[in-house]
Amino acid sequence: MVRPVGFIHIPKCAGKAIHFALSSDHSFVNLGHRAAYPTKILCRHKTSPYATEEVWHPSELCENNAYLVKRESMNPERFTDPDWPYSTFDWAYNNGFYEDAITKYGLYKQENHRELEPSLFFASIRNPFEQLRSYWRNAFPCGWMGVNVLYNIKDFEHFINLYCDDEIGWNLPEFKQNPFFQLYLQEDKPFVPKENLIRFEKLKTDTERVAEIMGLKNIDTSKLEDGRAKNWGKIEYDLTRYTKDMVLKVRKKLDHVLNEFEYDY
């Protein structure tokens, strides 16, 4: 039997394109916009009374993840009630989703062993400066998961200022602390091997390389291209232009991420 491999779908890193390129191989499992394992950030509100308000079967949670993120994120009570789940990911963790999902796909080192097998996971990453551009520009003027509507964001500079302000909430709280939060366990280092990371800037080349590492053979990368990060049109570029002050703010906030993954403006 072929062992499954888990794709960690980090927002705004070409995850959908990679999914279509690799999903014909039956070993491929898309874990979606969730952490593969509860992190420090995800364990902050384990006793929330809202966590068990509605119980979903893990398969239903998987199918309705986008809806749940929107429902939880848009509820104004989450910003005033200290017991509100920190995010939908907390809510899923409290309902046993992580244990069920990861065990279901057999992504542990050994059967009945609680330690994840890092070599069975892969993900795509992107320069955070470009990732944030895409986050704001997605489904314009709404932004990814309605962020611009939720926070009444006026323009890209306003978006960056709010993102870099640690006193402001966010529609995906973990992303605000680390745009690659899904790659981390309880430690401060990513658990996914760096050779298993697809860089957006080398999308086609890296997808083919990582697919080979993961043993994925039934793939179609014909619609992928390298260097997509440079393909902003003039209008998009003007709308998402970084000022020097904006660059300094992002660098300060994401210094650990930029250094870990060797990115900069």
Q: pLDDT, tens digit, for every residue of 63-116?
A: 444 444 444 444 444 444 444 444 444 444 444 445 555 666 667 666 555 567
**C-alpha–C-alpha distance, residues 134 and 84, integer Å:** 29
The predicted model scores a pTM of 0.77
Segment 29-46 mean pLDDT: 52
Tokens of 257: 């991420």
What domain range is 124 assigned to?
5-261
Q: How far apart are CA 196 and CA 5, in angstroms?
A: 11
Contact, 153 vs 162, CB < 8 A?
yes
Residue 192 contacts residue 122 (beta carbons within 8 Å): yes
DSSP letter for 40, please. Answer: T
pLDDT digits (tens, 9 = 90+) for 203-252: 999 999 999 999 999 999 999 998 754 455 656 666 789 999 999 999 99
Is residue 6 within 8 Å of residue 106, measured between CB atoms?
Answer: no
Number of domains observed in the structure of the chain: 1
* DSSP one-letter code for 239: H
The percentage of the chain sitting over the pLDDT mark of 90, rounded to a whole number, equals: 42
The pair of structure tokens assigned to 244 is 């020097």
Q: Is the pLDDT of residue 62 over 80?
A: no
How far is 123 from 14, CA to CA, in rounded Å?
10
Please state, as a whole number, how many other Cβ atoms lie within 10 Å of the Cβ of residue 22: 24
